[in-house]
Amino acid sequence: MDARYAAAYPRLYRQHWWWRVREAILVQKIRALLRDVREPRILDVGCGAALFFDVLEPLAHVEGIESDRGAVERAGRWRGRIAVGELDGGYRPAEAFDLILMLDVLEHVEDPEPLLRRAAAVLKPGGRLLITVPAFTWLWTAHDELNHHARRYAARDLRAAIEAAGLAPIEMRFLFQSLVVPKLLTRMKEAVSGSRPRVPAIPPRAVNALIQAFFLAEHAIAGWLPFGGSLMAIAGRCDHHGDEIVDSHV
């Protein structure tokens, strides 16, 4: 992440309509996934300064892993719940997790398979992986450069990565459908003007609230549409029986 963006990120997360909408959608999904789980445990991969933890903690015991030591040092009371490092063989939690979050993480790595495989290894049988990624290479803009993205994902690409890691894709749904046209227009404008990446601005309060309400309504009404600015996926651990891979809940 660009240093200017990293400095602005906590304020953007807490106030900007895009992050507020994404959090509301995620909380709704997480509640549904954990509804029948007793004493659930969540791992937030790439959790940064634990900005999501205050919302997650009432839903489950939450832990995180983050490679940016500076971000972890800004996590306040949650600092002791975060392991500094990568989700690899060196990460050995005391217990496995019922739900692992990879929220806008996979787009930062060239090869997602090792990361997904390690996630599967620390997931309980019947556990779930909740993933969000930016959608479609043809929506690439300077904002992706600001975020140091390596790629954007089509649904088939994310499904292939999930299956290659031995996980079973359960659900895929696009988010922020109405952002597709503005992002395409931005991409065309940047192709002509060569615009440099800029940190997003937070709209005035009333405008911010109006846009937030619009996208929440869009998700409820038109979230089934097969396109959007972001892609959300649910994957499950698999049980191996001979040459077959069978998801434990599907």
Q: Is residue 79 within 8 Å of residue 73, measured between CB atoms?
A: yes
pLDDT for 242 equals 33
pLDDT for 29 equals 98
The answer to whether residue 242 is domain-embedded is no
Using one digit for the tens of pLDDT, what is the confidence trace for 122-177?
Answer: 999 999 999 999 999 999 999 999 999 999 999 999 999 999 999 999 999 999 99
Q: For the chain, what's the residue count?
A: 250
C-alpha angle 94-99-102 in degrees, rounded to nearest 5: 100
Alpha-carbon distance of 130 to 98, in angstroms, equals 11
Tell me which residue range forms the domain holding 217: 3-237
The answer to whether residue 77 is domain-embedded is yes
The answer to whether residue 243 is domain-embedded is no
Q: Are β-strands 123-134 and 230-236 bridged in parallel, bridged antiparallel, or unpaired?
A: antiparallel
Q: Is residue 231 within 8 Å of residue 105, measured between CB atoms?
A: no
H or E element that contains 133: strand 123-134
pLDDT per residue of the chain (250 residues) written in tens, 0 to 9: 677 888 899 999 999 999 999 999 999 999 999 999 999 999 999 999 999 999 999 999 999 999 999 999 999 999 999 999 999 999 999 999 999 999 999 999 999 999 999 999 999 999 999 999 999 999 999 999 999 999 999 999 999 999 999 999 999 999 999 999 999 999 999 988 877 778 999 999 999 999 999 999 999 999 999 999 999 999 998 765 433 333 333 2
CATH of residue 163: 3.40.50.150
Q: Is residue 179 within 8 Å of residue 229, measured between CB atoms?
A: yes
**pTM of the predicted model, to two decimals?**
0.92
pLDDT for 196 equals 77
The answer to whether residue 225 is domain-embedded is yes
Helix, strand or coil for residue 62? strand
The answer to whether residue 130 is domain-embedded is yes
User: What is the domain count for the chain?
Assistant: 1
